[in-house]
Structure 1
Amino acid sequence: METLFDHALIDMHRLRALKGEPADFLLDVVARELAERLSVIDRRFERAVELHGHTGAAARAIAETGKVDALERIESDERFAAPGQGLTVSPLETVPLAPQSANLIVSPLALHLTNDTPGVFVQIRRALKPDGLFLAAIPGSGTLQELREVLLAAESEMTGGASPRVMPFPDVRDIGALLQRGGFALPVTDKESYTVRYDSIFPLMKDLRAMGMANPLVGRSRRPLARGVLLRAAELYAERFSDPDGRIRATFSIIYVSGWAPHESQQKPLKPGSATMRLADALKQGSEK
């Protein structure tokens, strides 16, 4: 298994983000969206778990739906706990839950940082009780595409080479395949894109640090970008991705995921040849209504 992400560095970035001026808008948007998706499901969940939710925004939003009886948080460091709140400490790639012990597991903006993402999906499915629900929000391809393009172009132009400065993000089809590979029933994925506008590239990069989203790649360059490269990147950003008022756009594409632990009560696809009506007849009936 290839190690793409430096988990010690990720923890350092995320903990540093908690201490500074917060930039939690994306996590807050995702938390509300996950809670809204949960609220339309007509059932209660006895034991819910938020998996590496950083600020706990998703846990709070889910608790407010009134759909869960008990909710606990799992994080990579005890310092992520709110004052007076307990949590279970576990690394990003470990789900420290007994088999079939949780009814609901929610992962907001963390699974894109795992090196063994298929293994984590399997751990989550095993931890769910039969007919338990998994909800996640995962930054996907298209996220920070503008920043990636201009940093690559500016560094190549100024130095004759370039190092990866923005991490890769998964495609929605890849996430759907991981749900199926992990053994989830009724898997669903969809993507929402959010555009955030900034005066320039510099407040965008400041926000990324404040969100704990600085570059965590093992193969990253240890040399910070020279000021001249950053200034050129700012020029390219303004040229290529600005609105008429001069402000630049940053895209965050979030893949929303749901999957169920298998249970005999769930709908199953019909076996080939078991249909009682020919497709042509069904289409004819539909056209006559």
Structure 2
Amino acid sequence: MAQNPQTPPILFDRALLHARQRRARAQGEVAFLLDRVNEDMTDRLAAVMRDFHAAADLWTPGEGLSALRARLPSVQRVELDATGDEKLPFASESLDLIASALALQFVNDLPGVLAQIRRALRPDGLLLAAMIGGDSLTELRQAFAAAEAECEGGVSPRVAPFADLRDIGALLQRAGFALPVTDVDRVVVRYASAFALMQDLRSMGAANVLVERRRMPTRRRTLLRMAEIYAERFADPDGRIRTTFDIVWLSGWAPHASQQQPLKPGSAKASLAEAVKKAGKS
């Protein structure tokens, strides 16, 4: 049976993601990216001059958003469940703030989840989230692709596809958010080797969860060649390799009459052409 064109493709095995995140949490996961986001979240929330009475922390891994709990101890925490369900447990217009860290990059139906968030926010409610996107792990992606092409004659899905800034901004508008804003915090981390990087990804619970991932163990020859290519292309003079993580921040407000509104077409008092002419004469 042909797939319904309105049904989003299932890219991620979210049940497997849940299991790996639970294992990482039990073993004391590596949390330097989440620590960075927590610190930045504190600053961003401090810059918002308003009170939030009802808030939720959506799918943040590990111990969740400590920055949000410090400001709102009664915050509702929604953890990823064992089924990986993407249906949100929020009533319509029940929340002033929904925050999320390092979780939305593993959502199969991001437009649908953003629409659910928009419905759950009260008028003038805020979505503030950080997700992995952009060129994250581009070095690992390139090294694996080159090694598999050379050693096995083909390439298998290894690194998840990440949304870029323009895509996310468009999705916020499509979901009905007002005043959408996106920006990127690029973090470059250095490792002793590609294997040290892969160990960190496993410790974060962020190893490959693509539905189309290769199910057989990777050949030792391919792994060794991948590490060689990585070092050849992306190592610093001291031999340590570089790894890119792009943390994409997104925010948007549920529409409210008090918000700044764009001018209606044709309502401007002066035309751009006249402004250009005046600038040329000055």
- Asked if TM exceeds 0.5, the reply is yes
- 1:20 alignment partner, one of 17, 27, 30: 27
Q: In the alignment, what sits opposite 1:62?
A: 68
Does the 8 Å CA contact 1:75/1:92 hold for their aligned counterparts? Answer: no
**Among candidates 74, 98, 120, match of residue 105 of structure 1:** 98
Structure 2: gaps (5+ residues): 1-6
Of stretches 101-110 and 12-21 in structure 1, the one that deviates more from structure 2 is 12-21
TM-superposed deviation, 1:162: 1.8
Counterpart in the other structure of 1:239? 232
Give the C-alpha shift of residue 120 in structure 1: 0.3
Of 99, 107, 111, the match for 1:114: 107
Identical pairs, percent: 53
CA distance in 1, matches of 2:249, 2:276: 32
1:1-289 correspondence to structure 2 within 5 Å: 1=7, 2-58=9-65, 60-64=66-70, 66=71, 68=72, 70-77=74-81, 91-279=84-272, 282=275
SS where residue 136 of structure 2 aligns? coil
Unmatched tracts of structure 1, length 5 or more: 78-88
Are the counterparts in 2 of residues 75 and 90 from structure 1 also a CA contact under 8 Å?
no
SS of corresponding position for 2:91: coil
Compared CA separation, residues 250 and 270, structure 1 to 2 (3 A): same
Match in the other structure for 2:3: none
Kept in 1: contact 2:57–2:64 (CA 8 A): no
Displacement of 1:63 in angstroms is: 3.0
**CA distances 1:110-139 after superposition (whole Å, capped 9, x unpaired):** 111111111100000000000000011111
Q: Give the deviation of 1:32 after TM superposition.
A: 1.4
Cα deviation code 1:193-234 (max 9, x no counterpart): 100000001110000001111111111110121111111111
Work out the number of aligned pairs and report it: 275
How high is the TM-score relative to the length of structure 1?
0.90
Aligned partners of 2:69, 2:254: CA distance in 1, in Å? 21
SS at match of 1:254: strand
Give the SS at the match of 1:190: strand
Q: Aligned equivalents of 2:124 and 2:231: distance in 1? A: 49
Question: Measured at CA, do residues 222 and 90 of structure 1 come closer, stay the same or move farther in structure 2, by a change above 3 Å?
Answer: closer
> 1:161 Cα shift?
1.4
Please say if residues 92 and 114 of structure 1, whose CA atoms lie closer than 8 Å, have aligned partners that are also in contact.
Answer: no
- C-alpha separation between the residues in 2 aligned to 1:31 and 1:149? 30
- C-alpha deviation, 1:91, in angstroms: 4.2
CA gap 1:29/1:13 in 2 versus in 1, 3 angstroms: same
SS at match of 2:42: helix
Cα deviation, residue 97, structure 1: 0.6
Q: Match of 2:170, as an amino acid? A: A
Query: Which residue of structure 2 aligns with residue 84 of structure 1?
Result: none
